[in-house]
Structure 1
Amino acid sequence: MDIHGLISGISEGRFDDQLRRLYGASDRAVLRSRARYLSAAEGFSRFCPLCEEIHVYSAPGRTEIGGNHTDHQHGCVLAAAVSLDMIAVVSFRDDGVIRIKSEGYMTDEIDLGALEVNDAEKGTSAALIRGIAAKFTEMGVNIGGFDAYVTSEVKSGSGLSSSAAFEVLIAFIINEKYNEGRASSAELAAIGKFAENVYFGKACGLMDQMVCAAGGFVAVDFADPSAPVVTSVDFDFDKEGYSVCITDTKGSHADLSEDYSAVSADMQQVADAMGASCLREADEEEFYRLIPQLRNTCTDRALLRAAHFFAENVRAAEETRALSDGDTERFFGLVEESGISSAELLQNLYTVRKPEDQPLMLGIMLSKRFLGGSGAVRVHGGGFAGTIQAFVPGYLAVDYAAEMERIFGEGCCYVLTVRPVGGYELLL
């Protein structure tokens, strides 16, 4: 289709069924997504005024549901793709250049004739694009160029994994056009991880990319990190009458690297003391029996964090079973247990270097007061600052968001649906 076909198709509602699938069934969600796509079309027209044939792609953000700080110890995680996404309007070109203009940012231009690691690019979106292209080339895929205008609702720092959404989006575009869609969602996730690890320079795991690529609810077992076991979970919160709400409490992420690193270091300290390569390989009952001896070489905080891992790893698997059984009462109970464990054992709700700043604790307290025993609330993601997650009865979702925004500022609360698909192309 051309840009005029996209604009008329959006305006006349010919994409509405697809938009409902991606963003929720409500008329409000459809109208809002129409406006986003029309804005993206306008942005693309400014970026590439002479392009004729276009394609439109989307990739979602993700929310961690269960398994707080378990993946780096080869544990189990439950996560879901969400209705906040990145969209790209794309026109393919026959030279060896990829040009990507992300709304609000400078254009990245990648020459496909130079795909080696560029140290000067580390930490940039250009590094991710180059790394993804390099991996496809290594796989024997003959990549061509394209122009893309990208707009995103997966904001950086929101805890919804903007980097993984971007990686999956770029990998999905290349896979659909130049690889006939042959790469599976797991392979697209691995390509994104490769780009982030090797080209971007961040030692991330695979969970975020896996969820963004697969869509829906995804249970991931990282017992073998090189070949994680991924299981789709069939559950629909909308049909059960609940919304997933993520609130950005606006705590600063600055200078938190030490806090994040200390979590995995503490857990690894215990694993090493028990002669295991990671806590997943250690025996839980042996851990409790050995606590007197472990205190000689491990800190008390490390022991508490290890205790969190053992319980949280089991809990993530139990949450998966509860959703599979449609047992929301059991699931919400487990979510509450996870939140309490994160506060008391994992201790990732605020940094001890600034104990007077506790926006996560404040948000959780206010959420519990608002919910009055219904639904559930917990810390979301890495912790120490950033976001909380609440499962809110649908009829309360608007009021809940208003209460969070009264405290933490306008636009801080995202009322989400779980998106059933990962990478997606919008088709007439």
Structure 2
Amino acid sequence: MQETKVLLGEITAGQQDKRLTDIYVDDKVISYQKERYEKAILKFEELYGAGEAEIYSAPGRSEVGGNHTDHQHGEVLAASINLDAIAVVRKTSEAVIELLSEGYEKISVDLSDLEERKEEEGTSVGIIRGMAYSLKQNGHNIGGFQAYVTSDVLNGAGMSSSAAFETLVGTIISGLYNDMKISPVEIAQVAQYAENVFFGKPCGLMDQMACSVGGLIHIDFADPKNPIVEKVDVDFGAYHHSLCITDTKGSHADLTDDYALIPQEMKKVANFFGKEFLREVDEKEFYQNIAKLQQACGDRAVLRSLHFFEEDKRVEQEVNALKRGDFAEFLKTVKASGNSSFNYLQNVYTNKDVQNQGVSIGLAVSETILGNHGVSRVHGGGFAGTIQAFVADDFVENYREMLDSVFGKGACHVLKVRPVGGIKVI
């Protein structure tokens, strides 16, 4: 640990510029990041006083392929992005985690009582308690700390702000109490457990894995306890395309039931064949029994399952296209993935509020103006939030201006794939 005054001086003087560039990739954002880090240190001092501290970071993520396949033990292609949650942290002797996130009330978690609490579902307190409980159960050391957290991962907009926060907490505990020896994969698994059990959201493992491991990664969840993680080395800049994420200004806040129904309906189809997950079902047998499945499970469950089988193949098609340098085929497959999510998975808007279809509007506008300049698709869990586009560099500003004109200035973010996941920055 270093004194907060020393940390502040190093950042201001540019001594950490290379480190920040390695993390955030884009030279154009370094001045912004320096100011952000400086403000975070000053706020930490205001809350907890000057003294020794460390800084940790965990990124948001962008799903590239494998929309809603992870919870059925499928395959995904995902990337960490250069938007993140950062925490200025101090280790304490008291067994209490005290944390304030920008824009929220300060919270406190007593580590002597880690039992699940129903009233903490849907809260950051529940996530922290769940992370500490699971890490302790896995045999790791846990302990108290003070933290100030600030995040530019869009909250409730499909970039996995919750997974970034979970990864951040796990990485802090790894750094402060376990010499950074807890693997990123284990932190992701613990984060999923915390979100499923203590937070009360039935998510898969993809979000946490992408945030924790970092880079562009191909993950096979056939055995979720031992997922196969493969880094895919690709420079989108070499293909003169940028990753654009547009916030359509819809919130995920009241959509837990919509998300939950997707795995529930897919599992209903799997159960028809005596299996727990669709990955275990023979695809030919599925297609041969569609008429019976319609009667037993309903049409939407059948369509969502059809999406799963085809989407699982598309992930491998995307990975193989990138490996052989066939970017046109990659873009074609991304577009096919988006079409399947809209038509069959049906996660572009909620049937509870059909007059609010920001994601649909974003996709319609994108398809109309992009032409052969790129492709777009629903991003993340869906129903509200963000859309993703891969846009030719010479058309990015046109695209950004149009999307900003629809959803407001700053809605369209031009991002980079971040090479690292949860880390100690300084």
TM-score where L is the length of structure 2: 0.94
Following the alignment from structure 1 to structure 2, what is the Cα–Cα distance between the partners of residues 367 and 342?
16
The gaps in structure 1 that reach 5 residues or longer are: none
Report the alpha carbon displacement of residue 167 of structure 1 after superposing the two structures with TM.
Answer: 1.0
Report the alpha carbon displacement of residue 97 of structure 1 after superposing the two structures with TM.
Answer: 2.2
> Is 1:282 the equivalent of 2:281?
yes
Following the alignment from structure 1 to structure 2, what is the Cα–Cα distance between the partners of residues 409 and 304?
34
Instruction: Indicate how the Cα distance of structure 1 residues 116 and 354 shifts in structure 2: closer, same or farther if over 3 A, else same.
Output: closer
Report the alpha carbon displacement of residue 288 of structure 1 after superposing the two structures with TM.
Answer: 2.3
Q: Secondary structure at 1:377's aligned position in 2?
A: strand
Q: Secondary structure at 2:378's aligned position in 1?
A: strand
Following the alignment from structure 1 to structure 2, what is the Cα–Cα distance between the partners of residues 112 and 262?
34
> Is 1:215 the equivalent of 2:214?
yes
Report the alpha carbon displacement of residue 252 of structure 1 after superposing the two structures with TM.
Answer: 4.6
Instruction: Indicate how the Cα distance of structure 1 residues 298 and 131 shifts in structure 2: closer, same or farther if over 3 A, else same.
Output: closer
Partner of 2:140: 141
Partner of 2:38: 38
User: Mean Cα displacement is larger for which, 246-255 or 359-368?
Assistant: 246-255
Following the alignment from structure 2 to structure 1, what is the Cα–Cα distance between the partners of residues 160 and 373?
27
Structure 1 letter corresponding to 2:159:
L
Preserved contact between residue 118 and residue 199 of structure 1 (Cα < 8 Å)? yes
Preserved contact between residue 157 and residue 251 of structure 2 (Cα < 8 Å)? no
Instruction: Indicate how the Cα distance of structure 1 residues 353 and 126 shifts in structure 2: closer, same or farther if over 3 A, else same.
Output: closer
Following the alignment from structure 2 to structure 1, what is the Cα–Cα distance between the partners of residues 299 and 141?
54
Instruction: Indicate how the Cα distance of structure 1 residues 133 and 288 shifts in structure 2: closer, same or farther if over 3 A, else same.
Output: closer
Instruction: Indicate how the Cα distance of structure 1 residues 82 and 133 shifts in structure 2: closer, same or farther if over 3 A, else same.
Output: same
Structure 2 letter corresponding to 1:123:
G
Report the alpha carbon displacement of residue 318 of structure 1 after superposing the two structures with TM.
Answer: 1.3
Partner of 1:29: 29
Q: Secondary structure at 2:56's aligned position in 1?
A: strand
Report the alpha carbon displacement of residue 353 of structure 1 after superposing the two structures with TM.
Answer: 4.0
Preserved contact between residue 201 and residue 256 of structure 2 (Cα < 8 Å)? no
When the two structures are aligned, how many residues end up with a matched partner? 425
Report the alpha carbon displacement of residue 54 of structure 1 after superposing the two structures with TM.
Answer: 1.3
Following the alignment from structure 2 to structure 1, what is the Cα–Cα distance between the partners of residues 61 and 52?
30
Preserved contact between residue 88 and residue 148 of structure 1 (Cα < 8 Å)? yes
Q: Secondary structure at 2:104's aligned position in 1?
A: coil
Report the alpha carbon displacement of residue 216 of structure 1 after superposing the two structures with TM.
Answer: 0.2
Report the alpha carbon displacement of residue 12 of structure 1 after superposing the two structures with TM.
Answer: 1.6
Structure 2 letter corresponding to 1:375:
G
Following the alignment from structure 1 to structure 2, what is the Cα–Cα distance between the partners of residues 141 and 295?
47
Following the alignment from structure 2 to structure 1, what is the Cα–Cα distance between the partners of residues 288 and 423?
50
Following the alignment from structure 1 to structure 2, what is the Cα–Cα distance between the partners of residues 197 and 251?
23
User: Mean Cα displacement is larger for which, 223-232 or 378-387?
Assistant: 223-232
Instruction: Indicate how the Cα distance of structure 1 residues 6 and 260 shifts in structure 2: closer, same or farther if over 3 A, else same.
Output: same
Partner of 2:82: 83
Preserved contact between residue 202 and residue 260 of structure 2 (Cα < 8 Å)? no
Structure 1 letter corresponding to 2:284:
E
Report the alpha carbon displacement of residue 226 of structure 1 after superposing the two structures with TM.
Answer: 2.8
Preserved contact between residue 64 and residue 381 of structure 1 (Cα < 8 Å)? yes
Identity of aligned residues (%): 48
Report the alpha carbon displacement of residue 254 of structure 1 after superposing the two structures with TM.
Answer: 5.7
The gaps in structure 2 that reach 5 residues or longer are: none
Report the alpha carbon displacement of residue 334 of structure 1 after superposing the two structures with TM.
Answer: 0.1
Instruction: Indicate how the Cα distance of structure 1 residues 313 and 88 shifts in structure 2: closer, same or farther if over 3 A, else same.
Output: same
Partner of 1:203: 202
The CA RMSD measured in Å over matched residues stands at 1.9
Preserved contact between residue 376 and residue 392 of structure 1 (Cα < 8 Å)? yes
**1:152-192: per-residue Cα shift (whole Å, max 9, x none)?**
01132011111111111111111112111221111111221
Report the alpha carbon displacement of residue 325 of structure 1 after superposing the two structures with TM.
Answer: 2.4
**1:299-358: per-residue Cα shift (whole Å, max 9, x none)?**
233222222111111001211222222321111000011111112222222233444433
Structure 1 letter corresponding to 2:387:
I
> Is 1:382 the equivalent of 2:346?
no
Preserved contact between residue 238 and residue 417 of structure 1 (Cα < 8 Å)? no
Following the alignment from structure 1 to structure 2, what is the Cα–Cα distance between the partners of residues 354 and 113?
43
Partner of 1:154: 153
Partner of 2:412: 413
> Is 1:12 the equivalent of 2:28?
no
User: Mean Cα displacement is larger for which, 353-362 or 310-319?
Assistant: 353-362
Structure 1 letter corresponding to 2:315:
A
> Is 1:66 the equivalent of 2:82?
no
TM-score where L is the length of structure 1: 0.93
Following the alignment from structure 1 to structure 2, what is the Cα–Cα distance between the partners of residues 215 and 168?
11
